[in-house]
C-alpha cells in the first residue's frame, strides 16, 4: 500500500473508531445515586441510559466511562433511585377528569392557591381551570395572586352563590376580574363544551399527574379501549407513562387506527362480578373465549363469595383450555378466606391488590397472600382513591413487624405489576437491557420509619430514557 493509501486507511480507521465511541456513549448517566436495583447486585451508584434502555448499572467510575460530550449527567446527590412505579389498577381517563373542575370551598387562603397550583402543574397548557366555591370576600391583591398563579391556563371560577365568577387574564384578554350578569353568561359560553370529555386532554392530564408521582407504567381498568387516544398522545410526544389498556370482557373491540407500541399495548380483557348469580355462566363463557384467543383475563371481585366464584370460573377455564402461561388476575382480591387464598397459588391467579384503598385490613391480607406464595401486583384504583404509590407502600408495611418489608412492597409495585402484564423481562428492575424507567426520591424509604414513607417526595421521573418530571 502506498504512503497516500496508508494515510487514507488510517483516516478511515480513525473515523470508524470515533464513530464507534460516539455510538457507545450514553445519552444520560445518573451518578452519585443510592440505586436499589431489585435484582442482583442489589445496589449500585450509577446508571447509564441510551435511547429508551438501560445500558449500564454499576459504580460511578464505570458508568462515567460511557459519558461523552453530548451526554447529560444527572447528579443524584446520594438520593434513592428505584424502578419506576407500575400502578396495576387505574381508571385513567376518570383520573384525568378529576382535574376538570375544582371545588374551593369558600375562603381564599393559601390552600386555595396551592390547590390551583396543583392543577396548573398537571393540566396541559391552554386547558381551562373551571371551578366553584371562591369566597366573595377576597381582595384585589388576592385576584392578582390567582392571576399570577395561572399564566398558561384560562380560569373561570364561580364565587359562592354562582351569580359571579372570577376570570383570569388568559381568559379575559389581559384583564383579570369578577364578572356577573350578561358578562358572566358570555364567559360561560366561552368554556369549551368538551371541557370534561376531551379524551386527549384528559389522558395528557392523567399522564402528567402519574409522572409527578414517580409512576412510569399504568394498567387501565376502565375497559373503554382508548388505545388510539393514547397512541396519538404518544406520537405527539406528550405521553409520559406506559399504558396497558384493557378492554371489556365479552365486549367488541373498536377499529384500530394505530398498532400497539412499547408505550401503549392491549391484550387484556377485564370482567366484573359482584353477586349476580345468573351472570356466572355468561362470565365463564366470555372468560373461556378470551382465554382461548390468547388474551389475558382479569375479573373484579370483592368479598368472600365474589372471589370464590371467580376462582371457580378461572379453574374451569384453565381445565377447558389447557395449560399455558395465562396469568389470570383478580382485581381487588379483598376479603378472601384462607382456603381460597391457597387456590390463588394453586390455579394460579395474581392478586391485583390496592393497599391504600383497603388500608384498614391491608397489612393482614398482604401477609397472608405472601405466606401462601401468591403473586402480588400493587395498584391504587385511582381515581377512586389517591394514586400516590408511597401511600400504598406505607400501608402495606405498617405494623406488621417486618413480615412484609418495604422492599417487598416496592417489588409488588414494580416487578410484581410488570409480571402481571407479561412485562417482567423489560421492566420492574434496574438492569442492563431493560427500559430506562426510573424514579428518584427525596428520602431513602428503605431506611426511614414506615410512618414517614409517604412524606418522601418524587424528585425526578424518567420514562423511556426521558426526564418527564422534575420537582421544582
Distance CA 46, CA 57 (A): 6
The band of 460, judged by pLDDT with boundaries at 50, 70 and 90, is: very high
- Give the model confidence (pLDDT) of 97-118 as tens digits: 999 999 987 655 677 888 999 9
The band of 11, judged by pLDDT with boundaries at 50, 70 and 90, is: very low
In terms of pLDDT, which residue wins out, 426 or 2?
A: 426
pLDDT at 237 over 70: yes
Question: Across residues 340-348, what is the average pLDDT?
Answer: 97
Residue among 87, 21, 30 nearest 54 (CA): 30
Distance CA 320, CA 299 (A): 18
Q: What residues contact 69, with CB distance under 8 A and at least 6 apart?
A: none
Burial 21-49 (b: 16+ CB within 10 A, else e): eeeebbbbbbbebbbbbbeeeeebbbbbb
In terms of pLDDT, which residue wins out, 196 or 383?
A: 383
pLDDT at 4: 47
Question: Across residues 227-234, what is the average pLDDT?
Answer: 97
The ranges of the chain annotated as CATH 3.10.310.70 are: 101-190
Pairing of strands 34-36, 43-44: antiparallel
Residue keyed to cell 365479552 = 250
pLDDT at 192: 93
pLDDT at 142: 85
Query: What's the longest Cα–Cα distance across the chain?
Result: 92
pLDDT at 109: 65
Q: What is 213-431's CATH number, 3.30.70.1230, 3.20.20.140, 3.40.50.2300, 3.30.70.100?
A: 3.20.20.140
| Domain 101-190 in CATH 3.40.50.1000 | no
Q: Whole-number mean pLDDT of the chain?
A: 93
Q: What is the pTM of this model?
A: 0.93
pLDDT at 252: 85
The band of 9, judged by pLDDT with boundaries at 50, 70 and 90, is: very low
pLDDT at 219 over 70: yes
The band of 140, judged by pLDDT with boundaries at 50, 70 and 90, is: confident
The ranges of the chain annotated as CATH 2.30.40.10 are: 3-78
Residue among 262, 236, 241 nearest 125 (CA): 236
The SS3 of residue 143 is: helix
pLDDT at 106: 60
Distance (Å) of CA 328 to CA 49, 213, 217, 410 = 33, 28, 19, 22
The band of 212, judged by pLDDT with boundaries at 50, 70 and 90, is: very high
pLDDT at 14 over 80: no
Burial zone of 431 (CB within 10 Å; 0-12 exposed, 13-18 middle, 19+ buried): middle
Q: Which CATH superfamily is domain 3-78 in?
A: Urease, subunit C, domain 1 (2.30.40.10)
The ranges of the chain annotated as CATH 3.20.20.140 are: 213-431
Above pLDDT 70, what percent of the chain? 94
pLDDT at 310 over 50: yes
Distance CA 388, CA 399 (A): 20
pLDDT at 138 over 70: yes
pLDDT at 20: 40
Amino acid at each position: 500500500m502506498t504512503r497516500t493509501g496508508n494515510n487514507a486507511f488510517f483516516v478511515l480507521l480513525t473515523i470508524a473508531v470515533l464513530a464507534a465511541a460516539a455510538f457507545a456513549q450514553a445519552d444520560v448517566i445518573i451518578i452519585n445515586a443510592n440505586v436499589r436495583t431489585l435484582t442482583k447486585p442489589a445496589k449500585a451508584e450509577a446508571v447509564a441510559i441510551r435511547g429508551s434502555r438501560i445500558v449500564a448499572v454499576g459504580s460511578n467510575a464505570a458508568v462515567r466511562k460511557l459519558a461523552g460530550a453530548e451526554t447529560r449527567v444527572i447528579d443524584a446527590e446520594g438520593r434513592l433511585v428505584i424502578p419506576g412505579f407500575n400502578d396495576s389498577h387505574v381508571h385513567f381517563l376518570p383520573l384525568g377528569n378529576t382535574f376538570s373542575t375544582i371545588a374551593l370551598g369558600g375562603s381564599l387562603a393559601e390552600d386555595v392557591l396551592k390547590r390551583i397550583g396543583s392543577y396548573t402543574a398537571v393540566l396541559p397548557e391552554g386547558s381551562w381551570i373551571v371551578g366553584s366555591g371562591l369566597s366573595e370576600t377576597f381582595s384585589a391583591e388576592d385576584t392578582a395572586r390567582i392571576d399570577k398563579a395561572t399564566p398558561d391556563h384560562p380560569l373561570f371560577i364561580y364565587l359562592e352563590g354562582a351569580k359571579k365568577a372570577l376570570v383570569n387574564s388568559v381568559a379575559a384578554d389581559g384583564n383579570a376580574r369578577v364578572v356577573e350578569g350578561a358578562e358572566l353568561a358570555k364567559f360561560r359560553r366561552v368554556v369549551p363544551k368538551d371541557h370534561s370529555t376531551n379524551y386527549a386532554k384528559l389522558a395528557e392530564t392523567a399522564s402528567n399527574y402519574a409522572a409527578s408521582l414517580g409512576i412510569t407504567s399504568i394498567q387501565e381498568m376502565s375497559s373503554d379501549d382508548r388505545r388510539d387516544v393514547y397512541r396519538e398522545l404518544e406520537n405527539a410526544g406528550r405521553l409520559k407513562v406506559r399504558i396497558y389498556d384493557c378492554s371489556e370482557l365479552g365486549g367488541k373491540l373498536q377499529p384500530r387506527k394505530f398498532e400497539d407500541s412499547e408505550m401503549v399495548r392491549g391484550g387484556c380483557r377485564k370482567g366484573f362480578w359482584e353477586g349476580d348469580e345468573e351472570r356466572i355462566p355468561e362470565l365463564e363463557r366470555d372468560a373461556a373465549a378470551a382465554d382461548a384467543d390468547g388474551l389475558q383475563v382479569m375479573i373484579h371481585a370483592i368479598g368472600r363469595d365474589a372471589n370464590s366464584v371467580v376462582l371457580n370460573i378461572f379453574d374451569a377455564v384453565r381445565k377447558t383450555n389447557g395449560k399455558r402461561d395465562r396469568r389470570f388476575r383478580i382485581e381487588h382480591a379483598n376479603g378472601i378466606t384462607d382456603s381460597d387464598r391457597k387456590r390463588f397459588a394453586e390455579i394460579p391467579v395474581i392478586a391485583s391488590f390496592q393497599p391504600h384503598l383497603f388500608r384498614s385490613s391491608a397489612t393482614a391480607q398482604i401477609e397472608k397472600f405472601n405466606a401462601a406464595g401468591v403473586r402480588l401486583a400493587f395498584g391504587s384504583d385511582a381515581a377512586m382513591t389517591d394514586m400516590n404509590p408511597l401511600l400504598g407502600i406505607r400501608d402495606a408495611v405498617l405494623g406488621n413487624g417486618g413480615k412484609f418489608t418495604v422492599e417487598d412492597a416496592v417489588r409488588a409495585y414494580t416487578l410484581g405489576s410488570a409480571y402481571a402484564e407479561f412485562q417482567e423481562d423489560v421492566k420492574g428492575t434496574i438492569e442492563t437491557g431493560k427500559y430506562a424507567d426510573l424514579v428518584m426520591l427525596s428520602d431513602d424509604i428503605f431506611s426511614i420509619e414506615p410512618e414517614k414513607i409517604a412524606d418522601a417526595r418524587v424528585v425526578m421521573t424518567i420514562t423511556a430514557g426521558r426526564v418527564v418530571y422534575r420537582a421544582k
